[in-house]
Amino acid sequence: MKDIRKKFHKHLVIEIVLTLSIIILLWIVGSKAYFRVDLTTEKRFTISTETKTVLRKLPDEIFIKVYLEGDLPAGFRKFRNSIKETLDEFRVYAVTNIQYEFINPAENPDTKIRNQLFADLYNKGLRPTNIMIRDEEGGNSEKLLFPCAIISYNGIELPVNLLKNNVGISAEENLNNSIQTLEYELIKPIYNLTARQFDKIAFIEGHGELDSYQVEDITKELANSFQVDRGAINGIPHCLDAYKAIVIARPTKPFNEADKLVLDQYIMNGGKVLWLIDQVNVNPDSLAIGSSFAFVNDLNLDDLLFTYGVRINPSIVQDIQCNVVPVNTAVIGTQAKWTPMPWVYYPIISPLVEHPVSRSLNMVLTKFPSNIDTVGNNGKIIKTSLLKTSPNTRLVTVPALISLEEIRRKPTRNDMSSGNKDIAVLLEGEFPSGFRNRSAKAIIEAYPNQAIKTSKATKMIVIADGDMIQNDVRVTANGPESSPLGYDKYTRQTFGNKDFILNSVQYLTDEAGLMALRSKDFKLRLLDKQRIRQEKTKWQLTNTILPALLVILFGMYYNRRRKFIYNK
């Protein structure tokens, strides 16, 4: 018996020593070799190679304040946890260079102090959202949330709005879309803040383009990522070469051949262009009075765009899916009664989900857009539609008289049967020069060399609506004040124009490959609420009683087996 006990104790000591040795060995190996396993189907917790590269090269500490904390509804609680999980993943690769804090902006009981904090956050560029919360007694209460963050680096702050709020889809889908783009929305400002120097972009002037006040809001947003300049070409060769991309924002005067040559050769050298072109001119001041005459806007750019693979048609797109404008519906002689009425000349575009530029965006507001046709069979150019109208459209050829009286004639789907129309198109590849068969010196005598006939690999985005980038400007006692881009003062709704333009410029200039992160697709798995109500009691009992029962059965089995072994 003593020999058996000694043998048993010897085996026990060996097992303990061996187990401890294995644990210590695993600890040593684990501290030297790091790996993580993502078992989710969509790889929700896998950080991209591009993000890891940015995080590993951080020169100093980044501090992130997330203003989403406290008593949150289930959906926003999940969103908050997803933000934390993403930041925790960032910390794995950035080590101590990523620090974060979650803050409840409504925590202070003093209403005055709390409202002041809300105002400060709003003035910094953070967009709040109102939600309705149902209490236990069946009542509803309104709560203001800031699903946003402020990222700080070396005394510089960048606001980040993390919630995608598309009014055309459900709250669950909006939150899911927001979770999909979290990695991009957080890593992009980190990349911009730590860049040694900003890329330069320019708004072109000299052809009646939108002035600095009319594009002030998007300029401020772009200034967080780029050095933004304005200037005229003036036929000066290579004057655009220093710019990563240029923006041509609703010109109204023709381009001369010298400016076109400089622009074309900038593209041939790999330059990127965001074109926002109004092919049809409609005077808004005349229309406000009652009617306006629409005519072709001759910009002398058709030949260039045709060479690059697109044609903007001289027509106006009407769409049943449209915004509203206020119309006086009162009887003549009585007090004015302003009623919102659909205005088919202001199509609202639901962005396509397949491309990172337009994915997970709010609807985009357009005004008197034209439609784009892709032309040519150049296999070296890839053409991608970014914005399409609904199928219920009609084309109005110009010249044409446009009157507000048209609002009173409600169109039918039979009248609007022209199908989807392209409003924005992305072109990528190697483009032929619009001056490949012409002498550059014949156009600009001092041109230093021959025109390049085929471009380097580059890209451009053509948008057939110049108003898409324009913010409203009102004159006040303190001077002109610009409204947020995409904000409609009649419906008090903010459309996705700013995000679309910003994504377009980011995509054109993206060398780090971060825009691809916007293509993440997490499948939305919604619970069946009706089945939850019907089977609530069954699953509550299953989840509370079954685990306890299994523990009891396992304990009984373990004790019987132990007695059996030791008795033997």
Instruction: List the one residue out of 529, 510, 520, 490 whose CA is nearest residue 426.
Output: 510
392 phi, psi to nearest 5 deg:
-90, 80
3-state class of 296 per DSSP?
strand
Greatest alpha-carbon pair distance for the chain in Å reads 116
- Sign of dihedral through CA atoms 398, 399, 404, 409? negative
The single residue listed with the structure tokens 């060769």 is: 237
Our CA dihedral for 230, 232, 233, 235, rounded to 10 degrees, sits at: -160
Q: List, in order, residues 6 or more apart from 145 with CB less than 8 Å away.
A: 68, 72, 76, 128, 129, 130, 131
Contact 423, 374 (CB under 8 A): no
Cα–Cα distances in Å, from 256 out to 233, 259, 373? 10, 6, 24
Is domain 49-191 annotated with CATH 3.40.50.1240?
no
The DSSP code sequence of 44-79 is TTPPPHHHHHHHHT--S-EEEEE---SS--HHHHHH
516: how many CB neighbours lie within 10 A of its CB? 14
Contact 485, 226 (CB under 8 A): no
CA distance 32 to 479: 62
**Sequence-ordered alpha helix ranges (H) in 324-438:** none
Domains 49-191 and 201-495 share a fold: no
Instruction: List the one residue out of 374, 376, 371 whose CA is nearest residue 397.
Output: 371
**Which element (helix H / strand E) includes 498?**
helix 497-509
**Which element (helix H / strand E) includes 458?**
strand 458-463
CA distance 448 to 459: 25
Residue extents of the structural domains in the chain: 49-191, 201-495, 530-559
CA distance 276 to 250: 5
3-state class of 478 per DSSP?
coil
CA distance 525 to 171: 13
The single residue listed with the structure tokens 């009683």 is: 545
Instruction: List the one residue out of 185, 95, 173, 194 whose CA is nearest residue 149.
Output: 185
Tokens of 458: 């580059």
Q: Look up the CATH number of domain 201-495.
A: 3.40.50
pTM: 0.81
The single residue listed with the structure tokens 């004040």 is: 481
Contact 204, 260 (CB under 8 A): no
Q: List, in order, residues 6 or more apart from 201 with CB less than 8 Å away.
A: 222, 226, 227, 228, 229, 243, 244, 245, 246, 247, 505, 509
Tokens of 280: 């049809």
410 phi, psi to nearest 5 deg:
-70, 120
Tokens of 216: 């002030």
* DSSP designation for 452: P
pLDDT confidence of residue 524? 55
- For the chain, 568 residues long, the average pLDDT of each consecutive 10-residue run is 60 78 79 58 70 88 91 86 90 88 88 88 85 62 84 89 77 81 88 84 96 94 92 94 95 95 95 96 82 91 95 95 84 78 92 81 93 92 94 92 85 85 96 91 86 93 96 86 89 90 93 73 60 77 84 82 71
Label residue 375 exposed, middle or buried (CB < 10 Å: 0-12, 13-18, 19+).
middle
CA distance 81 to 102: 11
3-state class of 202 per DSSP?
strand
Cα–Cα distances in Å, from 227 out to 158, 231, 242, 246, 471? 15, 13, 11, 12, 20
Q: Which long-range contacts link 455-458 to residues 24+ away (Cβ below 8 Å)?
A: 455/267, 455/268, 455/269, 455/270, 455/430, 455/431, 456/268, 456/269, 456/270, 456/430, 457/270, 457/428, 457/429, 457/430, 458/267, 458/270, 458/271, 458/272, 458/428, 458/429, 458/430, 458/431
